[in-house]
Structure formats: structure tokens, C-alpha cells
Structure 1
Amino acid sequence: MRLLAVAASLLAGLALAVQSKVNGALGHAFGDGLFAALTSFGVGLVLLVVIVVATPSWRSAAPRFTAALRSGEIRPWQCLGGAAGACYVTSQGLTVTLLGVAMFTVAGVAGQVVSSLLVDRAGFGPGDPRPVTPTRALGALLTVVAVGIAVSDELSTPDHLWLSLVPALAGAGIGWAQAANGLVGAATRSVGFAALVNFAVGTVFLVIACLVDVLATGLPAAPPSDPRLYLGGTLGVVLLLTTVFAVRQIGALLVGLCAVAAQVAGAVLLDVLASGGIEVTTLVGTVVTLLAAGLAAVPSGRARVAVRG
């Protein structure tokens, strides 16, 4: 099951790499990244509603979800994982133009791995708490360094460096969201229903953000006609289903590191296919990222914490 969870996390990273390209193109067509994110969440939400309604085992999770809320097995705030995803997307629109994509990526990954370490240590997600062992801590640190190396050819010091706190906090929210979605999946015994809750919450938050955006800047451009630009929501469904399953088996940190490794590798592959070339620093950073994820998965010999608070 651990190997299957690692494979699922790698698949999630690849889906995220392709989704970033698709949603980026959709945002360019709209002239507004928030509406691209809302479209992606909306497509994913509709797809999940159809699948959950058509799948008896997933549909039967609805009463278990209600019962878990009433009994206190899960708290309402533990169902807000989708809000973290919406905040992450919103932070892109707020800071990428000032920080640059490279600085945004490094700050976001740093926030995510630190958050995942703490979430696992506290035992917030499903399963037992996972201590901060030397291999896990070193793997997390190497991942941040490796991502920095991979994007170093594009990395520069922006005038508003303090804004890097925004993607760092948003990335920390993603680490928390993976564990929160895992809790919903464990309580409902359905990865599909947990993904549906995530998309529903995220869509609500993005609707609010888009309403504010319209009041501030006006309506975006007309929706594009190319159907390929609407695949982001489908890829998001794949991403959520795989991470909700994997986080229960291997914890938020290893899920995040594997996903980051596959995301960087997938992005490199897409760039190679598009341009036919690759920077040496990007290749080195990608290899180190994959090694860091593998290192974090190696037991260090420390006793595992087995009692939950």
C-alpha cells in the first residue's frame, strides 16, 4: 500500500504539472487568473458530482459525512481544505507578477514542506503521528534547495521580497489541506466524497474572490472555445483523488515531496517537448528533487510515535 501511495503521489505531481500549463493558458485567454481558477474548480466540481451520484459506494458516503460532523469525529473547520487551494490560486494572482514564477515556486514549496512536517508530527491527518526523523527533515530541506536550483536560471531578487511570505503561507495551507482532506476521506471512507467536499468549498471561496475581482477590475474576456483549456478541472480531480488516498498511507510530508518531485520532472518534460532544450541547472535540480523525496521515505531507525493526543 505504501508503494501504491507513492505512485499515486507521483501521479498527482504529474497531473499538477500539466494542470499548471492548462490553467496558465486559460488564464491568459481570460486575461484573469481568478476566473481561470474558478472555471477549473467548477469543471472539477461538476465532474465529481456526476461521478459521486453515479457511484453507489461514493454516494453512500454522504450520510457518513453528516454523522461524522454531528458526532464531532470531524470538525467543520477540518472540511475547509478546498479553501486552502483557493487561497493558493489567489496568491498566484496577487504576487506572481511582482515576485516572478521562480520565487513564488520556491516560497510555496518551502511553506508546504515545513507545514507537512508539522502536520505529520502533530498527527493531524489520518493515521498515527509521524516524528520529524533526520531523513524526513533532510529530505524536506533538500527538496526546497533542489527546487531553488531547478528554477535558478529564472530566479532574481524582486523589489518586494517580503511578498514571498504570501506564497509561503499559501503553501503551508496546502500542506494542512492534504491532511484535512485525508481526515474527511477517512471519516467517510470515500476518497471521491472527500474530493467533492474539497472542490465544493474551493468553488465557493473562488466565487467570492471573483465577485470582488469584478467589482474592482470588471469582467474578464469571453471564455475561449478551445476545449483543451478546460481540462484543468479533470486533472484537479485526479490530483485530489490520489492525494486523499495517499496521505492516509504515507503522511502529508511524503505525499508533498513525491508530488513536488513529479511536478518538477513533469514541468521539465513539458518544456523539453515545447522547446527541445533544457538548462543544466534545471536538470540537476530535478534529479536532486527526486533523490530528496526518496531520502524522506527511508526509515531512520527512530521509534515511531504510536499514541495520538
Structure 2
Amino acid sequence: MLVPGVLGALLVGAGIACQARINGELGTELGDGYIASVISFGSGLVLMLVILALSKPGRAGFRIIHTALRTREIPWWLVMGGASGALFVLSQGLAAGLLGIAVFTVAVVFGQTLSGLVVDRRGMGSTPPRSITPARIVGSALMLAAVVLVVSTQFIGSVPLWLVLLPFIAGLAIPWQQAANGEVRMLSGSPVTATVVNFVVGTTLLVLAAAVHAAFVGLPTAYPTNPVLYLGGAIGAGFIGLGAILAPRIGVLLLALGTISGQLVVALLLDIVVPADGHPLAWTTVAGTAITLVALVIAATPALRFRASRGAARP
């Protein structure tokens, strides 16, 4: 399961990078990152509600979670993974278009790596703690070094500090979100349930935040006609569900590192194919992205060897 799991983590990262570019562009064209976030999360919620209506296991899982919350068999915060998702999508709408997809991704990655180490070491619910081996530490350190290399020639001194801190904090929350969603999936028996719960919580919080913001500045008067800019929610539904499946199986740290590599690879491709205005591609982005893949292999190698030796020991 480990190799397919790591490939799945790369796919999660690819989805995050694509969503970041789409939501960043939507926020820039609307001139309102809050409304862009509501559109992204809200469209994902609508899609998932349709899927839930068609999924018998999903509906059964939703009833299980509802009953468990009502009887306090599980803590309320376990279903709050969507709050982290809301923060991440909001940071996309507010910061990705201004920072550029590469620097935005780097800020997320830095927080994601640090948090992944902590969450994996502590465990969550039925997911046991995982040992922080030397290879995992080296892989994480190399991942962070790659991040620093990527950002070294792209950081813009005039960018407000909060604009960089926002995706960094969102990155800190991602591993916890993935672990929480993974627990909901295991308890409910359905990734559809976990994804719907995530979108219900996230959309609710984003609507409240957008309502407060709109009370002061009003709503956008025009909306972009490019349909691609409204695909962020559908992409998010895919990688949130996949992350909920993978987190209990390969661990949050390895999921985070694989996600990071996928993010930077696709961010690099996006900056080559459809570069953001004012953010030229630097050689450090290419080199740093390659290093993340090396870091991922280093972090995963001990687990691969362990599984191989365990399989060989079986009669």
C-alpha cells in the first residue's frame, strides 16, 4: 500500500496546486478573496451533497457521525477539519494571486512539513503515533531546504508579512485536517461522509467570514465568465477525499511530504505553462522541486524496506 499511497499523496499535492492557482485567479478577478473562497468551498459542498444523495454508504456514514456527536462518543473537534480547509482556501483567494503560485506553495509547504512531524509523532484517535526515524528527519530537513531554495530568489520585500504568514499558518493546519478527516472516514466507513462533513464545516465558516467582510466593503459587482475559475471546489472534493483515505494508511508526515512534492511539481509546471504576471520562473524553483522528490524517497525508504523484510519473513 505504501507505494500507491505515496503516488496518491503526489496526486493530492497536484490537486492542491491546481486549486491554489484557480482560486488565486478567481480572487484576483473578483477583487474579493472572501467571495472567491465561498464560491470554491460552496461549489464543492453542492457537488458532495449530490454524491452523498447517490451513495448509500455515504448516507449511512453520515448518520453514524451524527449519532456519535449527539451521544458524545466522539469529540466535536474531530469533525472540524473543514475549518482548516476553509483557512487554506481563504489564503488561496487572498494571497495566491499576489504572491505567485510558487511562493504561496512554499509558505504552505513550510508549515505543512513542521506540522506533519508533530501530528505523526502524536497520533490521533485510532491512528497510532509513528516513530520519527532519522530518515524521516533527514527527508523533512531536505524538504525544508528545498523550500528555502525555491523561495530564495522569489521573495518580494514589498509583500506584507501577513500575506506570507497566512499560507504558512494554513499549511500548519493541513496535516491536522488530513488526520481528522481520516478519523471521520474510519469511523463512518466512507470517504464521501468525511468529505461532506469537511465541506459543511468549511462552507459555514467561510460564509460567516464573507458576510462580515461584505458588510464593510460590499459584494463584487461582476463575476468572471471563464468556467475554469469555478472548478476549485470540484478539485478540492477530490483531494480531500483522497487525503482522508491515505492519512491513516501511510501516516500524516509521509502524506504531507508526498503532497508537498506534488504541489511543487505542478506549481512548477503551471509557472512554465501559464506563468503568473510578475512572477518569472527561476532556476531555484526547478532545483528545489527536484530536491523535494529526493527528500520524499529518503523519508519513505525505511518503511519500504520494513515492509519488504516483513513480507520476506512470512512463510
Q: TM-score, normalised to structure 2's length?
A: 0.87
Aligned equivalents of 1:94 and 1:280: distance in 2?
27
- Confirm whether residue 293 of structure 1 aligns to residue 315 of structure 2: no
**Residue 13 of structure 1 contacts residue 261 of structure 1 at CA under 8 Å; is this kept in 2?**
yes
Deviation string 1:162-218 (CA, Å, 9 cap, x unpaired) is: 775444332211121111111111110111110100011000110011011112222
TM-superposed CA distance for 1:99, in Å, is 7.1
Point out the more displaced range, 25-34 or 284-293: 25-34
Matches within 5 A, 1:1-309: 1-70=1-70, 72-91=72-91, 104-124=104-124, 126-157=126-157, 160-161=160-161, 164-274=164-274, 279-299=282-302
Deviation of the 1:293 alpha carbon: 1.5
- Contact 1:12-1:242 at 8 Å conserved across structures: yes
Deviation at 1:4, TM superposition (A): 2.3
- Equivalent residue of 1:225, what SS? coil
Residues in 2 aligned to 1:15 and 1:229: alpha-carbon distance in whole angstroms: 14
**Per-residue CA shift, 1:102-133, capped at 9, x if unaligned?**
65543332222111111111111653210221
The answer to whether the 8 A contact 2:28-2:97 is kept is no
Taking a change above 3 Å as real, the CA distance of residues 217 and 262 of structure 1, as seen in their structure-2 partners, is same
More displaced, 191-200 or 17-26? 17-26
8 Å Cα contact 2:150-2:287 kept in structure 1: yes
Find the counterpart in structure 2 of residue 306 from structure 1. none
Question: CA–CA distance in 2 between the matches of 1:233 and 1:92?
Answer: 12
| Bigger shift: residues 256-265 or 155-164 | 155-164
Residues 96 and 282 (structure 1), Cα distance of their counterparts in 2 relative to 1, 3 Å cut: closer
Structure 1 distance, partners of 2:90, 2:162, is 17
**C-alpha spacing 1:254/1:90, structure 2 compared with 1 (3 Å):** same
Change (3 A) 1:176 1:158: farther
Q: Deviations over 1:36-92 (max 9, x none)?
A: 111010111000000111011212112211233245443111111111121233345
Corresponding residue for residue 313 of structure 2: none
Identify unmatched segments of 5+ residues in structure 2: 307-315
**Aligned 8 A contact 1:133 1:300 in 2:** no
Distance 1:98 1:12, change over 3 A: closer
Q: Taking structure 1 as reference, are residues 83 and 280 closer, same or farther at Cα in structure 2, changes over 3 Å only?
A: same
8 Å Cα contact 2:19/2:236 also seen in 1: yes
Which sections of structure 1, spanning at least 5 residues, go unmatched? 304-309
User: How many residues of Structure 1 are paired with residues of Structure 2 in the alignment?
Assistant: 302
Q: SS of the residue aligned with 1:48? A: helix
Q: Is the 8 A contact 1:65 1:188 kept in 2?
A: yes
- Letter matched to residue 280 of structure 1: W
TM-score, with length taken from structure 1: 0.88
Give percent identity, aligned residues only: 43
Q: Secondary structure at the match of 1:129?
A: coil
Secondary structure at the residue paired with 1:128?
Answer: coil
